[in-house]
Structure 1
């Protein structure tokens, strides 16, 4: 039997996420232990901020989060479907089906559903990549913003190629409107120069990328394998003064060598010490510190630079080439790094009026990038708005009749569970979910597989019409497979055990030990 008590928390989480599905998903107020209150309709953020202690919920959270990290979109659909499959498993358990029989029926239903998705697929060439981006862009309901931003996403993905996820970065900033979102060729850093007297623009210069703190070298320090250690003992003031002058002179020599090699910008993952900032500024070098390692690697790809440990390793060969401009955006300095020397790297610079909106918008832009890249890689899409789930549900209900006994019952319930997505979209769009589901089923009986929920229009309609709602085939296949695997894993849980319960069992019989060994 399905252990309802053990997966009760999972059902609660699934119900919460289900009502946040779609562009009109309901907001949730997340109240953390420290009193921080966050309003969000993002399934990903809901799961990330949950204070989870229940093992079954932890399993759900981990699986859904991993799915989102790998695919970039679809987390809400995975959780919604998993919750629906668990609810229908309860019905089957009440009718006497064992978890093994439920799993067999679910697996059979999944095979039918995956075949239905493949048969429903259309070539991407019949639409535009921007249509995929617009479908995933649920962070705004403004038609003009959706149109312009989705076009920018499609352009960025087309330029970036197969590894678009690694070569497109999304930066968001509170202040302004979403319509001000801009596609920048290069990398945008959310920080400016470490010193106001540094230049704010360097065009066509050498860019040094460092992984450690920029500071005067300490006497006796050495990179790499140390074969001999030298210790300095400066007892007198004169000795300490001479040592400081030597270290400062060494840094000056290193800086001069870097500038002679063409260095005009220093960007480091660590800090730029205050005692060398003025010297960098005097040399006309723009210094930016505390840049994330991922950002540093992206700049390296764009400028064809090599990340080195310290300024001493900077040479003409390790320098990247490009332009660096510091601009004032939304009340703070932002640094724009552009270059034609390396790979194509782009940044979508997003704006929104408040923190909650900007966060939701940024996440939807990231989802749009991932979905568009997946669609371009595969070259096929399926109707969105719950249409493909409704088609898969219909096909499962038809073909399940050919199965026998308990497996047929479980497969039929699997097909019913697939309607959870279109029902949730209809509910959040303000429609009658029951009537919407009936209309979708009638359309399938008539051979119309593109009728789905147009949430923005607030109706059931042909989602492949003037503004098509389409999603990548691979994403839909992965959502169904992951949700089924997760549900089956939870269905088969029959007991919760603590690892410590498995040792030192009560009543364990001690082995007889000879007196000589006991002594």
Structure 2
């Protein structure tokens, strides 16, 4: 095994993990990222930091991809995953120095993970003990204002509970969208329905449409081209217009055809059009004159939410709009932070939009990502129905359980299990450091508290103290999210620690082949 190459790979990953890990918690440190093009980004978000880093090492690229996939799938916990991965790799490097083989370390890590999962299941509490708002508040690290955290977390919990309790199929965190914009500090509105950041295509269009028929389209709204793709499929037209009069006649026919299509849609009740394509300038006035409001360039995610909210179906063009394909909603236009937004409140599956305000662009981005994490954590807690103490309390409890199990394990895997346990306390150590406490002193105090039977003792970073996190201002995390973060970190670490060579795929010489075979 090429230990020098292995150590170099692990060192690169360890530096990235350590950098990202310092952003953990409500007082995670800020990073000033200076990109090669001169762009400067200040962020305390681990996910955004990974996105901004220009990584080309294959091991760090694998780490970035894994954490990105975790964030996309779970919506929260990516920073914890990165921090634990780095800690596990550091412990593995120390075990290699003591003569353990990567296979032995991986086997010990797997045994420790099994103990951790069993312990998590046994120590989980019902969500009803703490409430979903406590889970949202724990994940909402983008603001330190207690009133704002309470108001936003309660709004998220109420909306998530409504969506989860509905009979609509496939309801989940996609039904609660988060928009953060410049404005007054702490101003937050939970809006029933879908909020579109795209303004109406014409100022002449109506701005309030109660109980409007909603047409959802996938193509550009324009006059149909005679003999073109918008014509009926059973027509076979061949045009040969050579004179000005003939061209003018064709143009008048196309305009008349659009007027007929629009009149038919309006007669069916259509008052609002949302399309993935554009709205041609020459038809905007006709739509406005007919009392129809329209937005264009609607993204796929927004269109899916409109489908669920209004109960409509996406059709190719205005010609296919019928009462059966249309949805229904109350539509209004409101101004927010100097821009106009379209609010669509439908009669279908429950949809909510959380509109938050922050004083500057950096705070806006941080608050929006934090609120999205809180939404994901809340829905996961409602799905699991169980939570575990936050603030590093769970990691300290898992450490004790794994160390106890390791003492009863024969073979060198015992050393790997102890290394796994030591890696877990990196989480409370980082939280304690960010709260202004001494990291290892904080860990020792937590260990003493847990030895005394206070198994919910953790770090309250906002208060800068160690206390029972299930009392007072509760700090709790979803059971499933914590379990998946520990399991994913273990999988990623064991995959990386078995890498012993960097092999160029496009230049595999005989020497490289021999080294790879060894």
1:320 partnered with 2:317: no
Q: Distance in 2 between matches of 1:111 and 1:232?
A: 73
> 1:48, CA displacement in angstroms?
1.8
- Report the alpha carbon displacement of residue 164 of structure 1 after superposing the two structures with TM: 2.2
Per the TM alignment, residue 411 of structure 1 is displaced from its structure 2 partner at its CA by 0.8
Q: Which residue in the other structure is 2:392 paired with?
A: 386
1:166 matches 2:169: no
Is 1:57 aligned to residue 60 of structure 2?
yes
2:80 is aligned with 1:77: yes
Residues 225 and 231, structure 2, Cα contact 8 Å, conserved in 1:
no
Contact 1:86 1:487 in 2 (8 A): yes
Correspondent of 1:443 among 440, 445, 449 = 449
In structure 2, the partner of 1:410 is 416
What CA distance in whole angstroms lies between the structure 2 residues aligned with 1:33 and 1:181? 36
Matched, 1:346 2:349: no
After superposition, give the CA deviation of every residue in 1:239-261 in whole Å (9 maximum; x if it has no partner): 11111111111111100111111
CA distance in 2, matches of 1:76, 1:53: 20
Distance of 2:510 and 2:415 partners within structure 1: 44
After TM superposition, give the deviation of residue 228 of structure 1 in Å. 7.2
Tell me the distance in 2 between the aligned counterparts of 1:100 and 1:151. Answer: 47
> Residue 512 of structure 1 aligns with which residue?
none
Aligned mates of 2:396, 2:231 — CA distance in 1: 61
Could you tell me the TM-score, scaled by structure 2's length? Answer: 0.95
- Determine if contact 1:164/1:369 at 8 Å carries over to the other structure: no
Q: Does 1:176 align with 2:184?
A: yes
Instruction: Tell me, yes or no, if the aligned pair for 2:115 and 2:401 is still in contact at 8 Å.
Output: yes
Selected match of 2:227 from 217, 220, 223: 220
| Equivalent in the alignment of 1:510 | none
SS of alignment partner, residue 5 of structure 1: helix
Match of 2:152 in 1: 149
Q: 1:423-462 residue pairs with structure 2 within 5 A?
A: 423-462=429-468
- Aligned counterparts of 1:316 and 1:380: Cα–Cα separation in 2: 44
Report the Cα offset of residue 36 of structure 1.
1.7
Distance 1:398 1:274 in 2: 72
Q: Note the C-alpha offset of 1:300.
A: 1.4
> Does 1:255 pair with 2:262?
yes
The aligned counterpart of 2:210 is 203
Q: Is the 8 A contact 1:176 1:330 kept in 2?
A: no
Q: Note the C-alpha offset of 1:503.
A: 7.2
- Equivalent residue for 2:300? 293
Which structure 2 segments of 5+ residues have no match?
165-169, 514-518
1:47 is matched with 50
Tell me, in whole angstroms, the C-alpha distance in 2 between the residues paired with 1:363 and 1:397: 36
* DSSP 3-state at the match of 1:242: helix
Q: Which shows bigger deviation, 119-128 or 469-478?
A: 119-128
Instruction: Give the unaligned 5+ runs of structure 1.
Output: 508-519
CA offsets per residue over residues 248-296 of structure 1, 9 Å max, x none?
Answer: 1111110011111111111111111001001111111111111112111
Contact 1:120 1:449 in 2 (8 A): no
Cα displacement (A) at 1:375: 1.0
Task: Report the CA distance between 1:504 and its aligned residue.
Answer: 8.5
Deviation at residue 200 of structure 1 after TM alignment: 0.9
The RMSD of aligned alpha carbons is 1.8
- Seen in structure 2, the aligned counterparts of structure 1 residues 505 and 448 have a Cα distance that, compared at 3 Å, is closer
Q: 2 CA distance for matches of 1:217 and 1:407? A: 72
* Alpha-carbon separation, structure 2, partners of 1:501 and 1:276: 57
TM-score of the superposed pair, with normalisation by structure 1: 0.95
For 1:513, the equivalent position in structure 2 comes to: none
**2:235, 2:248 → 1: CA distance?**
25
1:472 matched residue in structure 2: 478
> What residue number does 2:337 align with?
330
Contact 1:450–1:464 at 8 Å: present in 2 too? Answer: yes
